[in-house]
C-alpha cells in the first residue's frame, strides 16, 4: 500500500516518491484526499506559523508560493485549457481543439493571473488557526472533488483523464 500512496504523491506533488503509470495512479485515485490532507497540513502549518509575525498579504503570497513549489502547479494548466476552450468560438470540436492546443491562449493566461491574484487576496483575509483550517479543508475537498467528478462525470474527449474516469466508474459497479 505504501508504493501506491507513493505513486499518488508523485502524481499530485513534485516529490519523486514513485514511478507509476496513469493506470496505476488511477486505480488508487481514492487516496487523493489523503495526499490533500498532507499537503494541507504542510502548507497550512507554514501559513499558520508565518501569520504569527508577518503581514497577511505577505503570508498569503508565501502560502501560494508554497503551493506552487509543493504541487508544481502542474494541474493549473487544466484551468488555462478550460478557459481557452470556453472562449473559443465555434463547434464543440473547435473548443476541444483549443483545449488540446499546447500553447496557452489569452483567455488561459488571463484566467491564471486572475486565479492567482484572487487566491492571494482570499488567503490574506484569514490568519492564525482559521487560515490553517481553511488551507487544510480546501486541499482535502479539492482532492475529494477530483475523485467525485471522476466517479460521476464523463470525459469530454479521450485524454490523460480517461484512465481516472474509467477506473472510478469501475469501482462504482
For residues 113-123, b (16+ Cβ closer than 10 Å) or e, as one string?
eeebeeebeeb
Cα separation, 144 vs 142, in Å, equals 5
**Which cell is 95 given?**
473548443
Report the C-alpha dihedral over residues 45, 51, 53, 59, rounded to 10 degrees: 100
Rounded to 5 degrees, what are φ and ψ at 105? -85, 180
List, for residues 1-60, the tens digit of each pLDDT value: 677 788 888 889 988 876 777 888 888 889 999 999 999 999 999 999 999 999 999 999
Range of the domain at 64: 2-172
Q: Is the pLDDT of residue 172 over 70?
A: no
Grid cell, residue 89, equals 468560438
- What's the total number of domains in the chain? 1
- pLDDT of residue 166 exceeding 90: no
Cβ–Cβ under 8 Å, residues 43 and 139 = yes
Amino acid at each position: 500500500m505504501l508504493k501506491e500512496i507513493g505513486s499518488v504523491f508523485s502524481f499530485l506533488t513534485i516529490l519523486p516518491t514513485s514511478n507509476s503509470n496513469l493506470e496505476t495512479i488511477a486505480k488508487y485515485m481514492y487516496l487523493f484526499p489523503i495526499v490533500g490532507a498532507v499537503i494541507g497540513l504542510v502548507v497550512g502549518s507554514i501559513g499558520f506559523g508565518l501569520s504569527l509575525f508577518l503581514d497577511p498579504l505577505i503570508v498569503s503570497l508565501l502560502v501560494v508560493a508554497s503551493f506552487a513549489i509543493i504541487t508544481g502547479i502542474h494541474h493549473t494548466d487544466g484551468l488555462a485549457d478550460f478557459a481557452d476552450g470556453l472562449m473559443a468560438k465555434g463547434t464543440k470540436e473547435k473548443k476541444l481543439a483549443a483545449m488540446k492546443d499546447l500553447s496557452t491562449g489569452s483567455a488561459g493566461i488571463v484566467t491564471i493571473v486572475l486565479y492567482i491574484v484572487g487566491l492571494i487576496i482570499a488567503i490574506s483575509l484569514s490568519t492564525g488557526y482559521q487560515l490553517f483550517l481553511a488551507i487544510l479543508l480546501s486541499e482535502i475537498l479539492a482532492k475529494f472533488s477530483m475523485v467525485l467528478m471522476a466517479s460521476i462525470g464523463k470525459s469530454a474527449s479521450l485524454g490523460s483523464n480517461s484512465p481516472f474516469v474509467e477506473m472510478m466508474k469501475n469501482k462504482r459497479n
